[in-house]
Structures are given as structure tokens and as C-alpha cells.
Structure 1
Amino acid sequence: MRTKRTIINLLYTLGSSFVLLLLGLVARALFVSNFDITIPGTSTVIEQLFSVFSIAEFGVGSVISYRLYEQIAAKDVDKISKYMSLYKWTYRLIGGAIFVLAALFWFFLPLLIVEADTDWNAVHAIYILQTLSTLSSYFLVTRRLLYTCTQQGYVCTRIDFVFNVLTYLARIYISLNYANNYILYFGITIVFNTLANVVVAWRYRRDFPEVQDVRVSWADFKELGLFRDLRYYLVHRVSNAIYGTSDSLVMTRMRGSASVTYLGNYSNVSSSVTNIGNKILDSFAAAIGNIVYDKTAEADDHQKKVFWSMDLFSYLFGSFVAVAYFCLFQPFITVWLGSKWLLPMSYVFWFCLNEYVGWNHRMLGSYRAVLGHFEEDQWFMVASGVSNLVLSFVLVGPFGLAGVVAATVFAHCLMWFGRAKVVFGRFMRGCGGRYLRLQLIHALTLAADMAVTYWVCSLLGGGWLGVIARAVVVCILPNAMNLVFYGFTSDAEYLRGRALQLWRRIRRKEA
């Protein structure tokens, strides 16, 4: 059942996300072409600011989700109902807290957006719309958690796909016919996001009739031990917020919001790819939660075999993404928007390293999330957030955007080390040395993949045909090299077995 649901999640994800990626590229191109150059940058900065406000969430979703895995495995409907009710009412309180933060920070916007010719009517309108969008999500989004934890995220993916298509089509229409009408452009997103959450809520009542709303109190938080987890996880939330928003906030403060528009063109592409990647790997995350809490006698050997295979899968995915960005980003931006929107290759290099660090330990992060004990790596998270912010301001002067992203890579590695400490201290005991040796080998393999693939791509022409040719090379060459290096190792044994099972099922259906 785990394998079947994982495959279903993957199929829905890949099909819908590819369509949304294409629509998103068209919408972004029209957005930067038909709106004032500061509008996209301003919207990005405000979105990042609300990511900082999300600190008020305290990590409730993450804390409750790893508790839910255990109750779902035990089929304890009463506990599941209580956790979901706690989640719902906590998010309503958080929505109120974020409203207060948004109202207070309204008066500090001039400290963030520094251009002398700033259109403050536009800034304030976008800020209000972002506030409404954020609040609507906190009051409606909670039902999605149970779909994720039961490996039925494809239900939400189907619903989101419909409304995201409508959103992009509406944005394209507005960009073509109502240029610079940012209120209409951002307002339509709120409407469709809200409708998607309403439809998910309707499906939730139908799909989980046994899960009921129950009365909850502060005593329930204490009884279930959530206060302790939330106290420690708050450090993670603060550090993640600082880490995730430093680049845009530092750039708009030091170089202006127009510079963030240039950055946003790259991040728009990477966000679409990240969305696809997250949904692919999230398909495995719930299965990881079930595996970790499997207490059967034969579980230990299986758990270790799955861990090393999932770690290898993370490397294979991360190295492919890094090589693809390194070889395709500049040619693609050139034909998509024009060479005037290019950022330096030094930025692309550090960006690729940061993407590799993130994807390469993505599965490790999933294991870390379901293990709890957030106090054990909290100071690594603090060091990550603080170092990213401080080094970004230090390096932006002499090295520009490349320095900002280099600071992000350093901070990301600190976060990675902290997560590894928890996983190898609580779950994969005694395996830390092997993990370190593998990461060194993976780094050398990545360097070879990037060098060889970039050299081959440099021999190809320009234009859309050149981009397509490079994409074909990127899809084949680094993956073939990784297959030679790792495809027949013991760490790939579990992956080979699952791939063979999938192939046999496909063959049976064809027959």
C-alpha cells in the first residue's frame, strides 16, 4: 500500500506540475514585461516579510504531523481527532497574531523599501493583499495535514491543479489586458487560493468522516506534551525564517527592490522546480514516518536499507538539479526574457551549490522531522540563521549577489550538520562516519558531473533549439554517469527492487 500510494502521488505530481511550470513561465514573462520593474520586486520582498511573520506558527504543523504518524499507525481515531482539532484552533490563534504583526509592521515599511521614487500606493495595496492571502490560508489550510500524513496528498494536488491553472490563466489575461493593475493581478490569486481550500475542506469531511471536531483546551496541550516540542521548535522556525528570507531582504535594503526583480526571475524558475521536487519527495515523507515508527521484529534491517537508498536517491535528485541549473539557467533566461535580465555566472554557481546542499540532504531532513526532539539541533539552526544574515551584509558589498548566496550555502551546511546529528544520534546510530565518507564521494562525483556536462553543453548552439539540446544532454549525461557510479552498489539495492516492482506492475497492466 505504501508503494502504491507513493506512485500515485508521483504521477499526479509530475503531470500537473509540468503544466503549471509552463503556465508560470508565461505568466512571469508577461508580469515583468507589462508591469513597472519595481512591482515584481516589491511583491517578492513583501512575500518574504510574511515568511518572517510565519514565526508565529511556532512549527505547530511539523510538531503535530510527527505525532500524527504514530497515531495513524496505531489507528487511534480519538487521538487523531484531538490532534486535528488542536491544529485547527491553534492556526486560528496564529492567524490573529499574524494580523497584529502585519498591522504593526505597516509603519516600518519605509525602513525596508528605500527607493526615493517608491510608489507607496502600490506598496500598501500589495501589502494589504498579501495580508489577506496569508490570513485566508491560516483559517482554511489545516485539513491538508491529514491527507499528507496518510499519503493521500494527491487529492489536494488534483484540487490545487485546477485552481492554479485558473490563477495562471487569469494572470496572463490581466497582464495582457490590464497592464500595471496590480490590485487585480494579486487579488485574483487570493480568490482562487481560497476556493481551493474550501474544496479541500469539503473533501475532507467526505474522506475522513470518522475524524470529528472535538473540544480542546490548554490542558490538552499540556497532556499531549506539545508545549515542550513547540518551545524547542520555535528556535527552528525563527532560524528558518531568517535563513529563507535573508537574500531578498538584504538585496532590497542594499540594492533596491528592482534588483530583487532580477533575482525573482531566477527564483521563479527554481520555485517551480522546487515545488515539483518537494511534492515528489513529500510522497516519500509519509512513508518514512510509517517506517520509523514500525516496531516489528524485522523492521531494523529494513529501516537501514531504506535509509541508505533514500539518501542515495536524495543525492541523485540533488546532483541532477544542480547540474541542470548550472548548464541551463543562463541560456534559458536569455531566450525566455532576454540577455538584459541575466545575473552573473558567479551567482549561478553558488545558487547551484545551495540547491545541491538542500536536495542532497532532503531525505535526511524528512527523517529528522519525524523523529522530533527539536532541542537537539536548535543551536545549529540559530547559527544557520544568524550567520546567513550577518555574512550576507558583509559579503554583499565586495561580491554582490554572489556573496549573499555564498553566505546562504554556508548557513545551509550548518543546518544540514545539525539534522545529521539528530538522525545519527537517534535513529542510525553508529553510521555517522559512513555518511560523512559518502558525502565526500558524492561531492567529487557532483564536480565530475557538472564539469563534463557543462563542457558538452558549451559545444551546442543558442536559441530555443540550443536550450532543448542542452536539456536533452542534461537529462541523459549526468544521470548516466551517476548510474555507472552508483547504480549497482548495495545502497541502490532497495531502489532497484522498487523500480523492478513498478516495471512488473506496468507490464501486467499492459498485458
Structure 2
Amino acid sequence: MELKRSENAKKGVMAGIVNRVVATFFPFVIRTAMIHKMGVEYLGLNSLFTSILTVLSLSELGFSSAIIYSMYKPLAENDTDTINALLYFYRKVYTVIGMVITVIGVGLMPVLHLFIKDDVPQNINIYIIYLIFLCNTVIGYFFYGYLSSILNAYQRLDIISFVTSLSQTAGYICQLAAIIFISNYYLYILFFPLATLANNFLTAYAVRRMYPQYRCQGNVTVEQRQAIWKRVYGIMVEKICGTTRNSFDSICISAFIGLSATAVYNNYYYIILSLNTLFYTVCNAVQPGIGNSVVLYDKEKNLDDMRHMNFGYMVISGWAFISLICLYQPFMKLWVGGEYLLPVSSVLLFAVYFYVLRMGDIRSVYAQAKGLWWENRHLAITESVLNLVLNIVLARFFGINGVIAATIIALFGINFCMSSGVVYKYYFGLEKLKRYFLHHLMYIVVTAVVGGITVWLCMKIECEGLLLLIIRAMICGIIPGLLYVVAFAFMREARESAMWIWDRVMKKEGEK
């Protein structure tokens, strides 16, 4: 059976944008309301418990992706029995994972206080709060969470996004009401598991209505099971570092500095996270085309394509990096107030954190298109361990700045340098790695010069509040672009990359 790939993709993109707006706007409003109505310590509890349970949920990473991948072939062949068997296997594994997370989660309760240095809000029982967060985490494993794999396999991401947006919006509105009108933290967090439960039931209803032929029955073969677990391991070890990165940071800040510091850190990180989502949208959009190109064309052509795409991507990333430095503090002051600001040094480190994270994005897309999960498996674990060790060491001496610096060091050394080596070793050729690094060095130097001039201009503005933010935003919107054009106009490779991007952006449908 052939899917309506283009039509489903368009629906998925539109619904995904709506869901992204919902998932960004409402938490922003809720965080603002909680800061002003209840206090920053409550945000610290949210961040801490979410981080702890995110680490516990690592046991699932990769399994859903492996199952969905395994469904593509039987779906194309209309092999309902195999899909039913995969669905049944999925449900059994999810039940086991849910039980494991529940047992470990409850087992952590006696030592929960060790993760909190101080600043626990009065009249709050952290164990009750933690149990509610734990329920929200495990609900998906016990109540129909596995059924979303059918929608994913059929490329009906529009249905998933619509259901998620609907349940999230209802939950966010109820949470906002609990904060503003009642100021009850228990009621606020209770809407987390209720919204998750509603999402799962609505998803199950949609799957039953649209695809009634699928039921959890039958058994997968030994070969299928072995292939699934191998994919699970390869995918899981790659995703571990990304999932634990901010979780380890938040836990270390809470343990060594306090809940209030955790909340302030996560206010700043929330901006980075929102930008990350936009950039990952670009990567996800080009991933299928790159995968197709890797299959159809030789590595020389793909290396040239990666060089061109990386140029455009890093220019936009540099632009965002400069804007973060100039706009972070004015925006945070308007949002949370002057008492919850980090020093300028922290702002600079956050911006560097964002930029270093972007440096490996396009290369990572090619690694996934080539299927290099197994070859990269040890580096993901190494990055997580290095990040955690450096967090513990540097947090003691430098506080929040030490935690951010630890993440930057781990990102640059492992995620960028060593992971790039894996892609070039197993695909492009190690002899071409030096040129890749030199290109990034060029981007860093140019961005530093452009950023220095832009920041100098922004510092000349003598006003406060919203007006300062608007004027600086106008400077950041115009000056870096002009300076980048001037800087790269004299570089042949940069001109070639710019023309390559222009041709593909402006090309009309059907043109060669």
C-alpha cells in the first residue's frame, strides 16, 4: 500500500506548527504567572522532578522508533498479522518499562531530599508532589501509549499533533486557572497526569476508528525481536546525552546551589529550548531528502551538499547567537523582573552553549541518514558521563556558570569534534575532516567579529524597558546580516554556498 506522502507531510507540518505554538506559548504564560503569584521556588520543584523522571525514562529511548521502523515494511505489504504482533510486543515491553520506572521512582523517595539543598516552599509535601509527577511519567506506558505508533507508521502526524494540542490546551488552561484564581500548587500539578491520560484515550479512540483492523495479538519472530533490540540499543545510546544534558544540569544546580537557582537557570534555558525547537524543525524537514540523496548519489556530491547547507545553517545560528547576547537580559528583565537575572557572564555562556550545540546539527543529520548509530554509540555515553562529572566539579567552584561551561566542554569535545570524526571515518573520508573543521573555525571568527560590532552598537543605546528591547532587536535584525554579506562576499566557497542555497530556495516546483 502506498501512502499519500506529500499530502500527509503537509498536514503534519501545519498541525506540528500549531502544536509547537501551543507547547511554547502556554508554558511561557504559566511560568510567568507562577513566578508572580506563587514564587520562583515552585518552578524549581517542577524543573527538578521533571529532570529526575526524564533520566528514569531513558529506558524507553529508541524502542518506539525501532518499532515504528519495523512497521514500515509490513504496512507497505498490507501484512496486518505482523503489525498486530509488533503492536502486542510493543504493549508488553511498555508495560515492563512502566513497572521498572515505577519501582525505581518509588525507590528514590527516601533519598529525594538529597537533591534539594534548600528553599522548599512552605506547606508543600515534596513526596506527594513527586508521586504525582511519577504518575504522569508512567501513565503512557500503561494506558494506550503504544497506539501512537500506528499513526506514526501511517505518517498521520497531523492526528497526533491535533490530539496533543487539544489535550495540552485544556490542561494548560486548567493549570493557569489553578495558579491565578486558587494559587494551589497541588491542583496545578494534578492536571499534568489528567492531560496525559486524556491525550492517550483520544489517541486510542482515533486509532480504533481509523484503523480497526489492528489489535494486540500474535507473536513476533526471534529474528524480528533481535533486529528490534539491536536498533533500540543503537538509537538509545545516541539519544541518551541529549535527554540527560539539561536534566543533569538542573539536578546539579539544585543539589549544590538550590531550588531558586534551578528555577532561574531554567528560565534562561527555556529560551534556548524554544530556539532549539525551531532549528530542529529545519533538520527534521531536510532529513528525508538527505536520506534519499545518500542512497542515490555518491559521497562527494553529498559532502558538497552538506558543506553548502552547513554554511547557511551556521550563518543563521551565528545570527541567533548574536541576538541572544544582545536581547537576553532586556527580555528576561521584562519577563521575570530584575531580581531573577543571571550575570552577563552567564548570558554569554548560554549563547555559546546554543552556538556549540548548532555546530553539529547538519553533520548529525547525515550521520542518521547513513545509519551510523552503532558506530557513534560509545561517544553518546562518554559525553553524558563527562558532562555529569564536569557538572559536579565545576558547580562547586563556579556555580551556574560552572554547570553551563561543563556542558559546553562536553558538547564541543565529544558531540562536535569526536562525532564529526565518526561521520568522516565511516562515510566522507577522514582526509576531508580538516577542511570541515577549518570551515567552522572561519564561521566562528566571522561571527565573533560581527557579534562584537553588533554588541558594541547595542551597548550605545541608552534607554530601558520595552523600548530598549525593540531598538536592540532592530539592530540585531539588520546589522549582522549586512556584516555577514560583507564578510563572506570576498570568500569564493561562501559565495558558492550562498548561490547553492539561493537556487534551491527560489527554485519553482518541477524545475530541475
Q: Which piece of structure 1 moves more, 328-337 or 139-148?
A: 139-148
TM-score, with structure 1 as normaliser:
0.84
Structure 1 residues 266-305: aligned runs within 5 Å: 266-292=268-294, 294=295, 296=296, 298=297, 303-305=302-304
**Residue 436 of structure 1 aligns with which residue?**
437
- The alignment partner of 1:423 has SS state of helix
Aligned residues of 1:148 and 1:286 also touching (Cα < 8 A) = no
Task: Measure, in 2, the Cα distance between the counterparts of 1:120 and 1:216.
Answer: 51
Amino acid in the other structure paired with 1:329: Y
Distance 1:125 1:247, change over 3 A: same
Flag structure 2 segments of 5+ consecutive residues without an equivalent.
none
Q: Which piece of structure 1 moves more, 269-278 or 457-466?
A: 269-278
Aligned residues of 1:309 and 1:493 also touching (Cα < 8 A) = no
Distance 1:352 1:66, change over 3 A: farther
Q: Are 2:173 and 1:169 equivalent residues in the alignment? A: yes
Question: Cα distance, 1:386 vs. partner?
Answer: 2.0
Task: Measure, in 1, the Cα distance between the counterparts of 2:182 and 2:255.
Answer: 30
Structure 1 residues 120-159: aligned runs within 5 Å: 121-139=124-142, 140-144=144-148, 153-159=157-163
Task: Measure, in 2, the Cα distance between the counterparts of 1:449 and 1:5.
Answer: 41
**Residue 508 of structure 1 aligns with which residue?**
none
Aligned residues of 2:391 and 2:403 also touching (Cα < 8 A) = yes
Task: Measure, in 2, the Cα distance between the counterparts of 1:2 and 1:486.
Answer: 38
Distance 1:366 1:151, change over 3 A: farther
Q: Are 2:112 and 1:105 equivalent residues in the alignment? A: no
Answer 1 or 2: higher relative contact order, Cα 8 Å, separation at least 6. Answer: 1
Amino acid in the other structure paired with 1:441: M
Amino acid in the other structure paired with 1:421: G
RMSD, aligned α-carbons: 3.4
- The alignment partner of 2:507 has SS state of helix
Question: Cα distance, 1:4 vs. partner?
Answer: 7.6
Q: Which piece of structure 1 moves more, 350-359 or 327-336?
A: 350-359
TM-score, with structure 2 as normaliser:
0.84
**Residue 245 of structure 1 aligns with which residue?**
247
Amino acid in the other structure paired with 2:198: L
Q: Which of 487, 490, 508 is matched with 2:496 structurally? A: 490
Q: Which piece of structure 1 moves more, 338-347 or 426-435?
A: 426-435
**Residue 445 of structure 1 aligns with which residue?**
446
Question: Cα distance, 1:463 vs. partner?
Answer: 1.2
Q: Are 2:56 and 1:50 equivalent residues in the alignment? A: no
Q: Which piece of structure 1 moves more, 339-348 or 244-253?
A: 244-253
Aligned residues of 1:318 and 1:358 also touching (Cα < 8 A) = no
Task: Measure, in 2, the Cα distance between the counterparts of 1:211 and 1:470.
Answer: 55
**Residue 507 of structure 2 aligns with which residue?**
501
Aligned residues of 1:388 and 1:408 also touching (Cα < 8 A) = yes
Task: Measure, in 1, the Cα distance between the counterparts of 2:213 and 2:319.
Answer: 43
Q: Which piece of structure 1 moves more, 401-410 or 366-375?
A: 366-375
- The alignment partner of 1:376 has SS state of coil
Distance 1:327 1:77, change over 3 A: farther
Question: Cα distance, 1:396 vs. partner?
Answer: 1.9
**Residue 197 of structure 2 aligns with which residue?**
194
Flag structure 1 segments of 5+ consecutive residues without an equivalent.
506-511
Aligned residues of 2:349 and 2:404 also touching (Cα < 8 A) = yes
Aligned residues of 1:326 and 1:348 also touching (Cα < 8 A) = yes
**Residue 509 of structure 1 aligns with which residue?**
none
- The alignment partner of 1:115 has SS state of coil
Q: How many residues align?
A: 497
Question: Cα distance, 1:421 vs. partner?
Answer: 2.9
Amino acid in the other structure paired with 1:113: I
Question: Cα distance, 1:48 vs. partner?
Answer: 0.4
Question: Cα distance, 1:481 vs. partner?
Answer: 4.0
Aligned residues of 2:35 and 2:43 also touching (Cα < 8 A) = yes
Q: Which piece of structure 1 moves more, 492-501 or 209-218?
A: 209-218
- The alignment partner of 2:429 has SS state of coil
Question: Cα distance, 1:493 vs. partner?
Answer: 4.7
Question: Cα distance, 1:331 vs. partner?
Answer: 0.5
Task: Measure, in 1, the Cα distance between the counterparts of 2:107 and 2:269.
Answer: 28
Q: Are 2:225 and 1:226 equivalent residues in the alignment? A: no
Distance 1:451 1:48, change over 3 A: same
**Residue 160 of structure 1 aligns with which residue?**
164
Aligned residues of 2:391 and 2:402 also touching (Cα < 8 A) = yes
Question: Cα distance, 1:280 vs. partner?
Answer: 4.2
Aligned residues of 2:488 and 2:495 also touching (Cα < 8 A) = yes
Structure 1 residues 344-423: aligned runs within 5 Å: 344-413=343-412, 414-423=414-423
Question: Cα distance, 1:458 vs. partner?
Answer: 2.2
Task: Measure, in 1, the Cα distance between the counterparts of 2:210 and 2:467.
Answer: 47
Distance 1:81 1:286, change over 3 A: farther
Task: Measure, in 1, the Cα distance between the counterparts of 2:399 and 2:317.
Answer: 26
Task: Measure, in 1, the Cα distance between the counterparts of 2:488 and 2:164.
Answer: 36
Aligned residues of 2:386 and 2:410 also touching (Cα < 8 A) = yes
Q: Which piece of structure 1 moves more, 48-57 or 233-242?
A: 233-242
Amino acid in the other structure paired with 2:95: R
